[in-house]
Amino acid sequence: MESCNCIEPQWPADELLMKYQYISDFFIALAYFSIPLELIYFVKKSALFPYRWVLVQFGAFIVLCGATHLINLWTFSTHSRTVEVVITTAKVLTAFVSCVTALMLVHIIPDLLSVKTRELFLKNKAAQLDREMGLIRTQEETGRHVRMLTHEIRSTLDRHTILKTTLIELGRTLALEECALWMPTRTGLELQLSYTLRHQNPVGFTVPIHLPVINQVFSSDRAVKIPPNSPVARLRHIAEKYMPGEVVAVRVPLLHLSNFQIYDWPELSTKRYALMVLMLPSDSARHWRGHELELVQVAVALSHAAILEESMRARDLLMEQNVALDLARREAETAIRARNDFLAVMNHEMRTPMHAIIALSSLLQETELKPEQRLMVETILKSSSLLATLINDVLDLSRLEDGSLELDLVTFNLHAVFKEVVQLIKPIASVKKLSVSISFALDLPEYAIGDEKRLMQTILNIVGNAVKFSKEGSISIAAGIAKSEPLLDARAPDFFPVPSDSHFYLRVQVKDSGLGINPQEIPKLFNKFAQNQSVANRNSDGSGLGLAICKRFVNLMEGHIWIESEGLGKGCTASFIVKLGIAGRSNEPDHRVVPLNRVQANFPGLKVLILDDNGVSRMVTKGLLMHLGCDVTVTSSTDECLRVVSPEYNVVFMDLGMHGTSGYEVAMRINERITKRHERPLIVALTGNTDRATKDNCFRVGMKGVLLKPISLEKMRSVLSELLERGTLRQS
Amino acid sequence: MDVSQMQGQLIDYTASLFREGFLDDQFTQLQQLQDESNPDFVFEVVSLFFEDSERLLNDLGRALTQQIVDFKKVDAHVHQLKGSSSSIGAQRVKNACVAFRNFCEEQNTEGCLRCLQQVKQEYFLVKNKLESLFRLEQQILAAGGSIPMVE
């Protein structure tokens, strides 16, 4: 046996170790053989692997390594030279392949690595493209929405609808949680919630306009993100803990439609803005993106453009109308001028001879005349007075007809008007033995605002007619407030007297027991120049214009007048309703600024103290003062008075004829008690005796006036007025 | 009787009271003070007047039948009565009081007693009249009418 170059193992001693090596080598070989098999299997499966021949190389390398290890198995025991040769060959091959592989790998591994980077790069690129695609898609969608919005917003030209539509469309397009529009109030100091998308009743919420967040939005022409807890974004109840998502606000320019100056129509006439607030839903993690904000701005611009268009159109229409109206007005003015000229001339021409006739006839009447002559002169006078009245009436009526008559509104005493009418009519009525009575409803105010003269003229005319057409019996006048129920007059079914805070409707009814009127004649009564022909009016005078004029006056006072009669001989009832203003309301000028010769109607809140030991007289004075609206306290003895008196009281009315005490002493004690002059109440004496001595005594102790008992309502009223004006009743 | 007839009656009656001098302008003033915040003013005042006057008349009667008549007190009572009657416009009563006071000043007991009789008579007359007036008014109001005012 030739000696081999391998190391001679010591057989018996390392048999175990040998055995292990044997087994390990075997397994290594197995693994080394299976790896390429796996590789091949998987490569066959994958279609994309570009380095096949590297695999082959690698496979060869592995196989050879395996083979080497396998052949090693035979070297553990003595072995022949053939084995040696095989091993050597195998090792040489293996070495060669390994080196080649190692060399190749130097090239391949960077490639492989770069594959990985390229892969990453490609992934990024893909993601980016994805995003860009998404963007383009959104933009296309936005474009579609804008077209839709434009279409919707421009489909109507009504200002409010435009804004509302903008709101709705934006809400829909951007899938908003809530969208609100805040409009400036008339005062311009607050913004009021006018419309919201989802909230049902947006009333009453106001927000002052000068909040910093609002100023920020108004000063920028872009949509601005605002904090979700600002007052304009808080639309739900404060009790609910709800935080909306991101909120954006944008200003919406409003047009000042009140100013239509034709020559001054700048584009910058919009100084007022409304605020539109848009809220994203809070549960989605959405944020306001650039294109969405732009969309909002586009929508706002669209709405503004639409409104401008509408306004332009309105302006053009108005201009045309203006021109037409101007022309019409000028024509009407010319016509009126012509008529006035005519009337003035005719007026003058007619009145001058009239005046001469009347004057000379009156003078003639004064001279010595025979009875027949006197009769003739009287007839002339009567006829000419009639003619003069006729001329006046015609003048009045023509002025009434063309509406150039204006009511002269003053505050006047309603009760006094009626009383004066009765005074005027009493002589005639008593000659005819007619009794005249008035009844006022309890709720009829004493004072009213209206045209006193013409109201009196109307009442006088109607009452005069009643007297004229009654031969006997009585005339009753009833005045009250018209209730807001429809009149029972079939000719005016649409007339509803509806009272308001500042106006009431006066209803007057004059009933007489005279000749009556045929119901068929009634419609003609208010026509001009119509007279009641069915009665022989031998002693009738008047132009027949009276009722026509009354009707014009009543119409001017926004009222209605009508006559009812059951027939001839059954009397007749004339009624009318007119609108009058309520006196003593807050739109009246401040009472303290009343001029000297104007007596105050009422003295609300004036604190008055009465001292009088006579119960009846005390009660009467108290009633008087309470009727005038004062706050009255009564005392019946000097002690009580001195106990009660204080600077709170404005006036003290003291009866001088009190038994056992001197009113002068009380006055002095009051003035001593209240030392400050301006705090002292004004003390006025009431007495049955107003001689010089009493008056002097009163003024000496510091009283401001002396009044004679019993005192009338009117007198008390003027006394209180004067006291408040001048602080004294003394004539200096 | 319907409302307008009653109203007519009231008007005539009131007119007659004024004509005959029972009432004067002051009563009209009182009627003017009656309004919706004070609907029974006249009635209340007149009732008070009745109470007061009857008390005063009794006091006067007693004072004048004393052994020694205290004219100061009598005068004070008459003064009160004069004041009350003039406050409500009971003209004849007031005039009687004026005459009464003159006798008081003269300290004439006989005259005073005569005057007291006069005053009493006038007072009861006017009381009667006013009560009838109020009855008529109540009737009208009960029938749904309103009280007319005579000028």
Q: Interface pTM (ipTM) of the complex?
A: 0.85
Q: Which residues contact A6 (CB under 8 A, 6 or more apart)?
A: A75, A79
**Which of helix, strand or coil describes residue A682?**
strand
Helices (H), A367-413: 371-401
CB contact under 8 A, B149 and A438: yes
Instruction: Give mean pLDDT, residues A118-136.
Output: 93
The pLDDT of residue A258: 45
Cross-chain Cβ contact A615/B48 below 8 Å: yes
What distance in Å separates the CA atoms of residue A224 and residue A300, rounded to the nearest whole number? 13
> Average pLDDT over chain B, rounded to whole?
87
What is the mean pLDDT of the segment spanning A121-132? 94
pLDDT in tens, A184-202: 877 777 888 877 777 665 6
Phi, psi (degrees; rounded to nearest 5) at A574: -105, 130
Residue A125: per-residue pLDDT: 94
Output the pLDDT for position A324.
94
Range of weakest confidence among A59-73, A125-139, A596-610, A620-634: A596-610
Taking each helix axis from N to C terminus, what angle separates A615-627 and B25-33, rounded to the nearest 10 degrees? Answer: 50
- Spatial contact of A702 and A674, defined as CB atoms under 8 Å apart: no
Q: C-alpha dihedral over A393, A396, A399, A401, to 10 degrees? A: -60
Q: How many CB pairs under 8 A join A and B?
A: 104
Mean pLDDT of B16-29: 88
Residue A107 has pLDDT above 90, yes or no: no
If you compute the radius of gyration of chain B from its CA atoms, what whole number of angstroms results?
A: 17
Q: A604 CB near a chain B CB, below 8 Å? A: no
User: Chain A contact for B32, CB < 8 A?
Assistant: yes
What is the C-alpha to C-alpha distance for residues A394 and A287, in angstroms, rounded to an integer? Answer: 81
CB atoms within 10 A of CB A708: 12
The reported pLDDT for the residue numbered A650 is 87
- In contact, A710 and B85? CB cutoff 8 Å: no
- Range scoring the smallest mean pLDDT among A265-269, A690-694, B35-39, B113-117: A265-269
Percent of chain B scoring above 70 in pLDDT: 97
What confidence tier does A600 reach under pLDDT thresholds 50, 70, 90?
A: low
Given a cut of 50, whether residue B126 has pLDDT beyond it is: yes
DSSP label of A406: -
Judging contacts by C-beta atoms under 8 Å, the chain B residues touching residue A624 are 29, 33
- The minimal CB distance from B33 to the residues A422, A476, A624 is found for A624
Residue A267 has pLDDT above 60, yes or no: no
Nearest C-alpha in B relative to A418: B151
Query: Tens digits of per-residue pLDDT, A473-523?
Result: 888 899 988 876 655 555 555 566 677 778 888 999 998 887 777 777 777
Closest CA to A576 of A500, A471, A465, A437: A465
DSSP code string of B63-115: HHTSSS--HHHHHHHHHHHHHHHHHHTBHHHHHHHHHHHHHHHHT-HHHHHHH
pLDDT at B51: 92
Instruction: Select the more confidently predicted residue: A533 or B60.
Output: B60
Position B81 scores a pLDDT of 92
Average pLDDT of span A250-276: 62
Which carries the bigger pLDDT value, residue A148 or residue A660?
A148
Give me the pLDDT at residue A132, please: 94
Using a CB-CB cut-off of 8 Å, the residues of chain B touching A435 are 8, 11-12
**Residues of B with CB below 8 A from A710's CB?**
26, 29, 86-87, 89
Q: Do A422 and B44 touch (CB under 8 A)?
A: no
A275 and A216 Cβ atoms separated by less than 8 Å: no
State the Cα–Cα distance between residues A594 and A411, nearest whole angstrom: 13
Q: Of A604 and A706, which is predicted with more confidence?
A: A706
**Which residues 658-697 of chain A have a CB within 8 Å of chain B?**
659-660, 688
- Per-residue pLDDT, B72: 87
Can you tell me the mean pLDDT for A80-98?
84
**Model pTM?**
0.39
Contact indicator for A641, A635 with CB cutoff of 8 Å: yes
Each residue's pLDDT tens digit, A146-169? 787 777 776 766 667 777 778 888
Residue B141 forms contact with A (CB below 8 Å): no
- Would you call B123 an interface residue with chain A, using a CB distance cutoff of 8 Å? no
Chain A, nearest residue to B53 by Cα: A616
Question: Is the CB of residue B29 less than 8 Å away from at least one CB of chain A?
Answer: yes
The reported pLDDT for the residue numbered A587 is 45
The model's pLDDT over A222-259, given as tens digits with 9 standing for 90+, comes to: 888 888 777 777 765 544 556 667 888 888 877 655 44
A144 phi and psi angles, rounded to 5 deg: -65, -40
CA–CA dist A630, A608 (Å, integer): 7
The pLDDT tens digits for B81-109 are 998 999 888 989 999 999 898 888 888 88
pLDDT of residue A268: 45
Q: What is the pLDDT of residue A1?
A: 47
Higher pLDDT, A163 or A540: A163
pLDDT at residue A61, rounded to an integer: 81
Of A294, A291, A204, A280, whose CA–CA distance to A250 is shortest?
A: A294
**Rg over CA atoms, chain A:** 56
Whether pLDDT at A462 is above 80: yes
* A73 Cβ neighbours under 8 A, 6+ residues apart: A22, A25, A26, A29
> Does position A538 have pLDDT exceeding 80, yes or no?
no
Per-residue pLDDT of B59-68, as tens digits, reads 998 988 888 8
Closest to A74 in 3D by CA, of A94, A61, A90: A90
The C-alpha of B80 sits at a distance from chain A's nearest C-alpha, in angstroms, of 6
Contacts of A439 in chain B (CB under 8 A): 7, 146-149
- Report the distance separating Cα A262 and Cα A266, nearest Å: 10
Residues 6 or more apart in contact with residue A493 via CB below 8 angstroms: A486, A487
User: Which residues in chain B are closer than 8 Å to A620, comparing Cβ atoms?
Assistant: 30, 33, 45, 87-88
d(CA A693, CA A672): 23
Write down the pLDDT at residue A536. Answer: 39
Task: Identify the closest residue of chain A to B28 by CA–CA distance.
Answer: A712
Query: CA A725, CA A682: separation in Å to the nearest integer?
Result: 12
User: How confident is the model over A584-596, as pLDDT tens digits?
Assistant: 654 444 444 334 4
| Nearest C-alpha neighbor of A575 from the set A656, A664, A479, A495 | A479
Res A354: pLDDT: 82
Mean pLDDT of chain A: 78
Name which residue leads in pLDDT, A54 or A383.
A383
SS3 content of chain B, % helix, strand, coil (to 5): 80, 5, 20
For residue range A407-423, list pLDDT tens digits in order.
778 888 888 888 888 87
Secondary structure class of A229 (helix, strand, coil): coil
- Per-residue pLDDT for B127 more than 90? yes
Residue of A nearest to B25 (CA): A712
Residue A182 to residues A163, A187, A243, Cα–Cα distance (Å): 11, 14, 20
Taking the CA of residue A643 and the nearest CA in chain B, the distance in Å comes to 24
